[in-house]
């Protein structure tokens, strides 16, 4: 442990005795990694590369504020840690930083008049939703990391859930935030539903991945639990037909809760399982809300899909997708192989680019991988996201697996950017994708991000290197 860090920890013990301190090697190892595939390779390679010096566990905003003030005084690097479910290397302690575990931030309250709920940064998505359900509400946010991701992390990465077409992304759900700045100052944004008082401060922290401040709590829009939930499926001879059908009803403001279009390759297993037309793409659509609205949306979507040569396949495939939607087993099976690797590279592009982005990313990754799966599951008025999931084997060592991962990531992102896509849709950028951000934002745009960092964190102590800042 560095001398300034040791002095900092001693000061915490003296001045903030209620703050829990974890500094045994095995405790530091637990916090040293998230779910970034390269971190898993580091575990398999031998002694772990990067350990934090210690982990601090505050229980309130004031304690966190005081920690940050002392960190500035002692020039100690700080990394906030949420649920540990991030897959882009956003919490790597490359310089023996001190981590702050946010799990004790467990505030929860509901305002039924405003239809909002406030959750502490350490509340998991599952706990938040369960507590809402007990009171007759939902927030509609169901990411694949639902059981482990926490509110603070989901805000910091602009996370998204499978029901995004109806409820939106995390950045569509936030009404107000409480944030501790790198210098220890506390910012609480206003709860008014609309403001014309300068730039929207919530937006500064949404997606900032802990670089501009640490979210301590969030006020989130909620809705009455749906009267009806319904799933169905369609097949299309070509993925492009499915995309055109989706674009048609989305641009008419018809927004089912779930839209998930599997291209002809990724759909093949489900196509075989259900005995659908071989070589076709598969669209899963889910609806929820007022019964009359669900019925109307279903009718319009049905008519649109049929108009674009879709074939109706009933409810079974949709229902069974819902029951298994959190599974990541296939990717994990490849990650654990010696020399193997896998990841989901999720990007977004306008409608007039999305087919090229999807097809060219698939083509670019194919020579490096055993197989590539692609699906579209978050759609907008102007475009769509696409998941390009690669599974690779090098038949070499875990060092080779790490190298193949980085090669695949580079090829995927550079191909996305070349054909009109972006770097990341909702997993964030962390350190894994940081080298590519200037290609998306441009020198001037990325320069703005750097200047904000310098203004808010003059000592450069908070989550250094994430987003390349």
Q: DSSP characters for 127-164?
A: HHHHHHHHTTEE-----TTTTT-BHHHHHHTT---TTH
Res 403: pLDDT: 97
Closest by CA to 315, choosing from 240, 385, 438, 229, is 229
Res 370: pLDDT: 96
Res 323: pLDDT: 87
Q: How far apart are CA 405 and CA 41, in angstroms?
A: 10
**77 sits in which H/E element:** none
Q: How far apart are CA 155 and CA 209, in angstroms?
A: 8
Q: What is the pLDDT of residues 61-89, one digit of tens each?
A: 999 999 999 999 999 999 999 999 999 99
Burial class (CB in 10 A: 0-12, 13-18, 19+), 448: exposed
The domain 3-103: what is its CATH number?
A: 3.30.43.10
Give the 3-state DSSP-derived string for 46-63, with helices as H, strands as E and coil as C: CCCCCCCCEEEECCCHHH
Low-confidence ranges of the chain (pLDDT < 70): none
Q: What is the pLDDT of residues 152-181, one digit of tens each?
A: 999 999 999 999 999 999 999 999 999 999
How do beta strands 108-111 and 116-120 pair? antiparallel
Contact indicator for 438, 468 with CB cutoff of 8 Å: yes
Sketch the domain layout of the chain as residue ranges: 3-103, 108-224, 228-323, 329-439
Q: What token pair was written down for 199?
A: 């730039």
Q: How far is CA 332 from CA 35, 122, 342, 390, in A?
A: 10, 25, 7, 12
Contact indicator for 71, 461 with CB cutoff of 8 Å: yes
Alpha helices in 308-370 (DSSP H): 316-323, 329-335, 351-365
pTM of the model: 0.95
Q: Give Cα 338 to chain centroid, integer Å.
A: 27
How do beta strands 186-188 and 174-180 pair? antiparallel
Bridge partner list, 230: 287
Q: DSSP characters for 379-395?
A: B-SSEEEEEEEEEEE-S
The domain 228-323: what is its CATH number?
A: 3.30.70.3450
Bridge partner list, 345: 388
The domain 108-224: what is its CATH number?
A: 3.30.465.10
Alpha helices in 177-288 (DSSP H): 201-205, 239-250, 268-274
Q: DSSP characters for 213-235?
A: -EEEEEEEE-EEPPSEEEEEEEE
The domain 329-439: what is its CATH number?
A: 3.30.300.330
Q: How far apart are CA 76 and CA 7, in angstroms?
A: 10
Q: What token pair was written down for 247?
A: 């674009």
């Amino acid at each position: 442990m560095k001398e300034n860090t040791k002095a900092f920890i001693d000061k915490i013990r003296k001045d903030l005795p209620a703050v829990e301190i974890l500094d045994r090697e095995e405790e530091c190892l637990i916090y040293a990694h998230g779910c970034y595939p390269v971190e898993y390779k580091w575990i398999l390679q031998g002694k772990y590369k990067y350990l934090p010096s210690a982990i601090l566990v505050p229980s309130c905003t004031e304690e966190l504020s005081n920690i940050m003030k002392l960190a500035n005084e002692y020039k100690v690097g700080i990394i906030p840690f949420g649920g540990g479910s991030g897959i882009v290397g956003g919490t790597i302690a490359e310089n023996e930083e001190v981590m702050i575990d946010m799990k004790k931030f467990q505030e929860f309250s509901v305002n039924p008049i405003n239809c909002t709920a406030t959750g502490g940064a350490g509340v998991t998505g599952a706990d938040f939703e369960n507590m809402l359900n007990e009171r007759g509400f939902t927030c509609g946010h169901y990411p694949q990391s639902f059981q482990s991701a926490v509110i603070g992390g989901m805000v910091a990465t602009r996370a998204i859930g499978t029901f995004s077409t109806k409820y939106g992304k995390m950045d569509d759900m936030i009404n107000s935030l409480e944030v501790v700045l790198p210098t220890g100052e506390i910012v609480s944004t206003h709860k008014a539903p609309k403001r014309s008082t300068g730039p929207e401060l919530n937006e500064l922290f949404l997606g900032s991945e802990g670089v501009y401040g640490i979210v301590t709590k969030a006020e989130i829009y909620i809705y009455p639990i749906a009267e009806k939930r319904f799933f169905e499926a369609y097949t299309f001879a070509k993925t492009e037909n499915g995309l055109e059908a989706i674009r048609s009803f989305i641009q008419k403001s018809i927004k089912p809760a779930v839209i998930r279009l599997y291209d002809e390759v990724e759909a093949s297993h489900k196509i075989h399982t259900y005995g659908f037309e071989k070589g076709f793409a598969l669209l899963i659509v889910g609806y929820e809300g007022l019964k009359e609205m669900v019925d109307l949306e279903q009718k319009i979507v049905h008519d649109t899909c049929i108009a674009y040569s879709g074939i109706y396949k009933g409810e079974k495939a949709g229902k069974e997708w819902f029951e298994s939607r959190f599974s990541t087993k296939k990717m994990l099976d490849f990650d654990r192989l010696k020399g193997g690797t896998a990841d989901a590279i999720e990007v977004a592009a306008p409608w007039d680019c999305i087919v090229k982005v999807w097809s060219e990313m698939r083509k670019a990754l194919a020579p490096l991988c055993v197989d590539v799966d692609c699906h579209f599951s978050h759609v907008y008025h102007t475009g769509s996201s696409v998941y390009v999931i690669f599974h690779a084997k090098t038949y070499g060592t875990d060092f080779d697996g790490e190298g193949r991962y980085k090669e695949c990531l580079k090829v995927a992102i550079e191909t996305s950017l070349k054909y009109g896509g972006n770097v990341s849709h909702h997993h964030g950028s962390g350190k894994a994708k940081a080298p590519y951000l200037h290609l998306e934002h441009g020198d001037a745009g990325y320069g703005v991000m750097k200047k904000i960092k310098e203004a808010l964190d003059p000592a450069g102590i908070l989550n250094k290197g994430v987003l390349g800042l």
